[in-house]
Amino acid sequence: MLIPFEQLAPETLTGLIEDFVTRDGTDHGDETPLHTRIERVRRALEGKQAVIVFDVESQQCQLCLKHDVPKEWLADLDMLTE
């Protein structure tokens, strides 16, 4: 299920993004400052290039590129954000 980022409290969204950009294996040797990586992800969400995916079974959220999720999920997201 996709979660519109606009529906998250600002602190929750920032926490989710921070968790994502600091996970093992996400920096690939990138020395970019944390605040810059957070802003890149935030812009990707605002620009609809990335989405928040919530897995009901595991109760976990993750960030994914839009082109990596099923098209029917995107249609549902569009209906939620209209």
CATH code, domain with 64: 1.10.10.610
pLDDT in tens, the chain (82 residues): 899 999 999 999 999 999 998 886 555 566 788 899 999 999 999 999 999 999 889 998 889 999 998 888 787 666 666 6
The total domain count for the chain is: 1
Bridge partners (DSSP) of residue 63 are 52
CB burial class (10 A; 0-12, 13-18, 19+) of residue 17?
Answer: buried
Report pLDDT for 50: 95
Range of the domain at 40: 2-81
- Looking at this protein, which amino acid is placed at residue 36? T
pTM of the full predicted structure?
0.80
pLDDT of residue 72: 80
Neighbours of 7 (CB within 10 A): 11
Which three-class secondary structure state does DSSP give residue 6? Answer: helix
Specify the pLDDT at position 82: 61
Closest by CA to 50, choosing from 63, 61, 38, is 63
